[in-house]
Chain A
Amino acid sequence: MAAQIIHGETIITPRLVLSYESSQESRNIEHTILGRSDPDITQRPAGTRTGTLELFFLDEADAEAARVAHTEVGTFSLVWPERPSTEMTYVLGQGELVRTLDPETRARWIVQVPYREVIV
């Protein structure tokens, strides 16, 4: 089953998820101690996952619907049974929401969604 993004009553179904990556900020702090090679560490919880989802749509209307949905307030759920470790709830992260007309086919559309995982 293909990946789906659920936002309230809206369900976005891209034809493909072209790429997925996640990164998490370490928020631990290193403290340099005078006269000692190893630092003291204060540990803080690492950040939630963040990155960019690249979604591939066959037609313009679906791509536009995906773009508009992501500008709305609220959370989104990524459901992808084939890749269960990627499933998460997210909000639009920092960065830019990009919609691109595929330069090769000039008919297909790519939407890049910066995401920030949230725990709700």
Chain B
Amino acid sequence: MDRAGAVPRGDRLSTISKHTYTATLLVDDGYPLAVQGGQITMDEGWAPHVQAQLTIAMPEETVLELLDPRDDVRVLVTAESEFSDWNNQPLPATSRSFNLCLRSRIIRHESAEVTLDLASDEALLQDDVLVDDEPNRDALAYQESLRSIIDEVVLSRIGAHLEPGDADAPYRVLADATNLITNPGAEVDLTGAVGTGVTLARQVGSAPFGTAMFRLNPTGAADSYMEIGGSAGALRNGMQAGRRYTASGTFMITSPMTGTAHARARRIVVFTRVGSGSYVETASAQAPNVAGQYRLSVTFDVPVGATEAFIRWYHGHTASVCYWDGLVLHEFTNEYDTDQWDGDSVDTSEYAYAWTGTPGLSTTTRTAVISRSADALQWEPGESSWSFVQPLFQTAGFRLFCDDQRRWWLVDTSYIAPGFTQLSAGYNVIDPEDTISRDTDEWYDAVLVKYRWRDETGAQQIAYDQALSPAYTKAIMIEVERPYPGPGAANYILRRAAGKGRTLDLGGVSNYAAQPTQPVTAILPASPIQTGVVASVRWSFDDDEMRIGTRGLTDTPPTAYVFGPPGVSYLDVPPGISYEEFDWSVV
């Protein structure tokens, strides 16, 4: 394991190190810049994640002109430390290079210095404001994966992409709707369905949804179709003039259809008419004439003043059988809301479904359990891509950041950076500060979780889950927009808070293996050993020192197996021996 600071063992003498800092302006073949001082900070709570201020000696005029933050200028900063002990024996060197974009530059003519502000690539997203006259709705196409929203909609604009990782979640926009089709899948019988040029039947088995589907067997005419809930002559299926609707359905064939094909074959075709005017026809895409199941959809407007609107589920061949199932007609929500659902759909953490009447033979309501409107995936003009995407990954409990190597990471709360930092009194810690505060959210001894959701009738519901320590003095409330899953979460959160509420600000000689979200152990006088996570690291080039901020510290007994040699686990202790008594040096 890569350790920042080594394990204190035995008597140690002065560690002697040499620190080298370089900076290169990444234009053409690169221009070296003379670093005089400055500092670089990596903070997991910051966007941009890496920020630096550098002071350089005034370069020659051509280089000075190139240092223009209005252009896309990058600077590579490297910091390297070579360690040796008192006997000039080398210890492992550490180094880190930071590829950062230039945000500002100030020339101080009196002292002939230039001050540079540098930042990691989040700054590029913060600059990337949508300039358009309508919102960007591209993200709606990637509702199944937050990673793909970030990759395809946001990062592709700056030519970047996410590093591989497991952290992902769907981000589906939710909308209440009613499926107006009164017989969406022939699950019960053929009520309401009328065939023209086809003989209708129920086909039981092999259906895409449920157990049955409509079977359309042609009688000879190519203009052959099925209608449900009425044909020409009126506004059908409860459609209303002046509204926009989406119709979708699954078309299925088991072998290519033969005979003569009509132009409307293998489509959903919608007809609307205003008064005695001509029929306006809107059709879905055509299903391929290849065995398989195809989800088709069509979004259409019923014009103001319309007197007729009806839908035909087309067969369209003079021969061969086809099937329709999973028919849905609802008011338009967004262009990707074309999946099948009816009252038999299983309720999820997102939607509740209910038949409004006889199961299988009535309309269906779909109620969003949590509120997540399509607006959330709509990138408004004037909004930067960072402020568009930030609420999305934060809702999912993720963190998006660009590291010092221009690599983008989407990580969840279980993410731990490689390496390990240990700072100990009598060994390597400089000027530590240890803070415990009641006034931060870090510490509490009572937890109240408030669940808020809407039930399938659309009514607002609230439930509480609580966990208390005896004689508690500080409570926190966490609001969750989700149906109440039963008690437990509050207790879990309370247990995780045990031992927290303490933050350390630790100094040390700069070590570039340290980085945020890395485990840290601090051994300080008159305190239990603290283990936690590095929240921030600031390296100062002026005095070769770093400062480490921590979070999530817990008191750790000195016999804890985590203090064993690196790479050794609890499982290495033979059965029957307490790990407190085990001699770790033999492993």
Residues of A within 8 A of B (CB): 29, 31-36, 38-44
Minimum Cβ distance to chain B for residue A119 (Å): 14
Cβ–Cβ contact B431 & A40, under 8 A: no
Minimum Cβ distance to chain B for residue A5 (Å): 25
Candidates A29, A34, A38, A40; contact of B432 at CB < 8 Å: A34
Cβ–Cβ contact A31 & B525, under 8 A: no
Cβ–Cβ contact A34 & B13, under 8 A: no
Cβ–Cβ contact B545 & A36, under 8 A: no
**Chain B residues, Cβ within 8 Å of A39:** 14
Minimum Cβ distance to chain B for residue A73 (Å): 14
Q: What 1/0 flags go to B6-35 for Cβ under 8 Å of A?
A: 000000111111110000000000000000
Say yes or no for B127: interface residue by CB 8 A criterion: no
Cβ–Cβ contact A42 & B525, under 8 A: no
**Chain A residues, Cβ within 8 Å of B18:** 42-44
Cβ–Cβ contact B509 & A40, under 8 A: yes
Candidates B425, B426, B509; contact of A31 at CB < 8 Å: B509
Given A31-B545, A34-B425, A35-B425: A43 and B16 interface contact (C-beta under 8 Å) = yes
Cβ–Cβ contact B430 & A32, under 8 A: yes
Cβ–Cβ contact B525 & A29, under 8 A: no
Q: List 24 A-B contacts (CB under 8 A).
A: A31-B544, A31-B545, A32-B430, A33-B425, A33-B426, A33-B427, A33-B429, A33-B430, A34-B429, A34-B430, A34-B524, A34-B525, A35-B429, A36-B425, A39-B14, A40-B16, A40-B428, A42-B16, A42-B81, A42-B510, A43-B16, A43-B17, A44-B19, A44-B544
Counting residue pairs across A and B whose Cβ atoms lie within 8 Å, the total is: 57
**Chain B residues, Cβ within 8 Å of A33:** 425-430
**Chain A residues, Cβ within 8 Å of B16:** 40-43
Task: Closest A residue to B18 by CB, please name it.
Answer: A43
Minimum Cβ distance to chain B for residue A88 (Å): 22
Say yes or no for B138: interface residue by CB 8 A criterion: no
Say yes or no for B344: interface residue by CB 8 A criterion: no
Task: Closest A residue to B81 by CB, please name it.
Answer: A42
CA distance A32 to B545 in the complex (A): 11
Task: Closest A residue to B544 by CB, please name it.
Answer: A42
CA distance A49 to B509 in the complex (A): 28
Say yes or no for B72: interface residue by CB 8 A criterion: no
Besides the known contacts A29-B543, A34-B426, A35-B429, 13 further A-B residue pairs in the complex with CB atoms under 8 A apart: A32-B431, A34-B431, A34-B432, A36-B425, A36-B427, A40-B15, A40-B509, A41-B15, A42-B18, A42-B19, A42-B509, A42-B544, A43-B17
CA distance A44 to B429 in the complex (A): 21
**Chain B residues, Cβ within 8 Å of A44:** 18-19, 544
**Chain A residues, Cβ within 8 Å of B428:** 33, 40
Cβ–Cβ contact B13 & A38, under 8 A: yes
**Chain A residues, Cβ within 8 Å of B543:** 29
Cβ–Cβ contact B426 & A29, under 8 A: no
Top-8 shortest CB links A-B: A35-B426, A35-B425, A42-B544, A34-B425, A43-B18, A41-B16, A38-B14, A40-B15
**Chain B residues, Cβ within 8 Å of A41:** 14-17
CA distance A34 to B432 in the complex (A): 8
Candidates A31, A38, A43; contact of B430 at CB < 8 Å: A31
